[in-house]
Amino acid sequence: MDIQKLALTLHPLERTILPYLENNISLKELSKKSNLEEVSATRAIQWLENKGVIKTLKSTQEIIDLDKNGREYLKKEFPEKTFLKALEEADNLEEIQRITNLQKDELNASLGLLRKNGFISIKPGFKIKPTILGEKYLKENTTEDFLKSLPIEKSKINETQEKIYQELKQRKQIIKTETEKILTITLTKIGTELKTVKIPKNLADQLTSTMLKDNSWKNKQFRRYDVEINVPKIYPGKRHFVNQAKQHAKQIWLDMGFQEMTGPIINPSFWVFDALFTPQDHPVREMQDTFFVKGNGKLPDKKLINKVKQIQEKSWKSPWTEQEARRLVLRTHTTVLSAKTLSKLKKSDWPAKFFAIGRNYRNETLDWSHSFEFNQSEGIVIDPDANFRNLTGYLKEFFKKMGYNKIRFRPGYFAYTEPSIEVDVYIPEKKTWVELGGAGIFRPEVTEPLLGEPVPVLAWGFGLGRIILPYYGIKDIRELYKNDIKQLRKVKKWL
């Protein structure tokens, strides 16, 4: 290494501390000798260590120092000594307080402490008298001398000081013990050589406009650029990585000719459950599975309500009430948007394709694979000529564009689709198949009330969180939304 060239790359802070560098010098000592603040000295040390000029050793030590009351007692005196002195004129608490002006808590603390150490005796009638030990204590300054020696390393106190320390730390705000970080510096071979190099005093750190105007730059020697020095990493602004994946999924559906569905998160139970052929006594409507909201929602026109009611009562052989249908609930799936969309379509609107990506809520116990809120991707295709093969085709295309090359379908069961399938994808890193969602064709009990006739409607829904977990290498679903700034900075971009 060319030591001369290295010397010319040094920052002004590095050049300031260089003359004071020696083996086993601490940061505090170096800061004091160089007249630099510790922050500036620390920065210079880090740069020099990166250049191989020094090595640092980090350690910790306990420091005993004065606290608020300790500083106060050093200026005046300890309240127990004030108490003892007052016994020359008084022998009861009332008189002692009048003479000393001690606060009630100080008075009581002093009484307890003096009595505990045998410095006072209490005679009949609560008459307080100093003992021989108490008179001796008045003449001693051992505790005060200990306070004057602070701050001090805890490891360096002697046996007598240790006893005083143990007593004082039980008392309120007299002393405090803090852990101090120690940085010890050692010179390397390069550092030893560098100290012998003479660095020009007029070394310029930057080219200024004034130098250009008066041509003074011609007579100056400039600091060399260090192209290998570590520089702070810059983290550009970007969307949350979950939103990046959502936007990509949204674009896939748009590219396939789908229209986006949107709607409120809070809905009447009619749209979340009843319109989707879920009986009113089904367990999914219970509090342990669903978040209900106070109040009642607005229902659609009577014609649609009656159609749904007739199918519900005919199919499930149980009474159906508008009161239950009006209960407001945080949507448990985005399929509520599909139901609302179907109810607004006219026959002239067919064929049509719709999708939604939105937040949903379920009363789940939070763990690595479950969350009480999640993003779901939803889709429907309304077409009299639609068939099961079309359904699997749409799903294959979507998952392929989301990065999954191996997809399989298994028979499944869902209350409002028939036939129904489970969608699995293969994760090469794990060498396993993972279930990501469900799909099927809406039952006539769903489509007939909403569309007026039992037209084939392809439908699917899957949690977006589970789809993107493998890409980001995340094993705990809670990490998707914890908003850890380090994670957000370092997580890779969705491609």
CATH number for 44: 1.10.10.10
Q: Are residues 418 and 462 in the same domain?
A: yes
- The one-letter amino acid at 245: A
CA distance 287 to 284: 8
Mean of pLDDT values over 162-190: 90
Alpha carbon 263 to chain centroid distance?
30
Q: Are residues 358 and 438 in the same domain?
A: yes
CA distance 159 to 82: 27
Q: Are residues 89 and 103 in the same domain?
A: yes
Q: Are residues 344 and 484 in the same domain?
A: yes
E runs forming strands in 196-344: 259-260, 266-268, 292-296, 327-330
In a domain, 127, yes or no: yes
Task: With beta carbons less than 8 A apart as the criterion, state whether 255 and 355 touch.
Answer: no
What SS3 state is found at 330? Answer: strand
Helix (H) or strand (E) segment spanning residue 360: strand 352-361
Task: With beta carbons less than 8 A apart as the criterion, state whether 488 and 241 touch.
Answer: yes
In a domain, 233, yes or no: no
In a domain, 348, yes or no: yes
In a domain, 381, yes or no: yes
Domain boundary among 131, 147, 174: 174
Mean of pLDDT values over 272-293: 85
CA distance 376 to 358: 6
Q: What is the pLDDT of residues 106-136, one digit of tens each?
A: 888 889 989 988 999 998 888 899 999 989 9
- Range(s) of the domain holding residue 87: 68-174
In a domain, 36, yes or no: yes
Task: With beta carbons less than 8 A apart as the criterion, state whether 393 and 359 touch.
Answer: no
Task: With beta carbons less than 8 A apart as the criterion, state whether 266 and 363 touch.
Answer: no
Q: Which of 385, 300, 380 is nearest to 341 (CA)?
A: 380
Name the region of 54 (left: φ>0; alpha: ψ -120 to 50; beta: rest): beta
In a domain, 252, yes or no: yes
Q: What is the pLDDT of residue 181?
A: 85
- Does 285 score more than 70 pLDDT? yes
Q: What is the pLDDT of residue 287?
A: 62
CA distance 471 to 45: 40
What SS3 state is found at 426? Answer: strand
Q: Are residues 57 and 191 in the same domain?
A: yes
Q: Are residues 458 and 413 in the same domain?
A: yes
Helix (H) or strand (E) segment spanning residue 127: strand 127-130
Q: Are residues 431 and 351 in the same domain?
A: yes
Domain boundary among 174, 197, 227: 174
Going 400 to 404 to 410 to 412, the CA torsion angle's sign is negative
Q: Are residues 46 and 120 in the same domain?
A: no
Q: What is the pLDDT of residues 348-366, one digit of tens each?
A: 999 999 999 999 999 888 8
For the beta carbon of residue 458, count every other beta carbon within 10 angstroms: 24
Q: What is the pLDDT of residue 417?
A: 94
In a domain, 249, yes or no: yes
What confidence category does residue 326 fall into, taking pLDDT thresholds of 50, 70 and 90? Answer: very high
Mean of pLDDT values over 385-408: 94
Mean of pLDDT values over 201-225: 88
Mean of pLDDT values over 10-31: 91
Q: Are residues 360 and 465 in the same domain?
A: yes
Instruction: Please tell me which of 68-77, 151-160, 261-270 the model is most confident about, judged by mean pLDDT.
Output: 261-270
Q: Are residues 344 and 463 in the same domain?
A: yes
Q: Are residues 357 and 478 in the same domain?
A: yes
Burial of 87 (0-12, 13-18, 19+ CB in 10 A): buried
Domain boundary among 119, 149, 174: 174
Q: Which residues partner with 360 through β-bridges?
A: 374
For the chain, the average pLDDT equals 90
Q: What proportion of the chain, given as a percentage, has pLDDT over 90? A: 55
Mean of pLDDT values over 254-282: 94
Q: Are residues 46 and 170 in the same domain?
A: no
Q: What is the pLDDT of residue 1?
A: 67
In a domain, 294, yes or no: no
For the chain, the domain total comes to 3
What confidence category does residue 49 fall into, taking pLDDT thresholds of 50, 70 and 90? Answer: very high
- Does 453 score more than 70 pLDDT? yes
**Token pair in block for residue 118:** 């045998």
Q: In what order do the strands lie in the sheet with 292-296?
A: 266-268, 327-330, 292-296
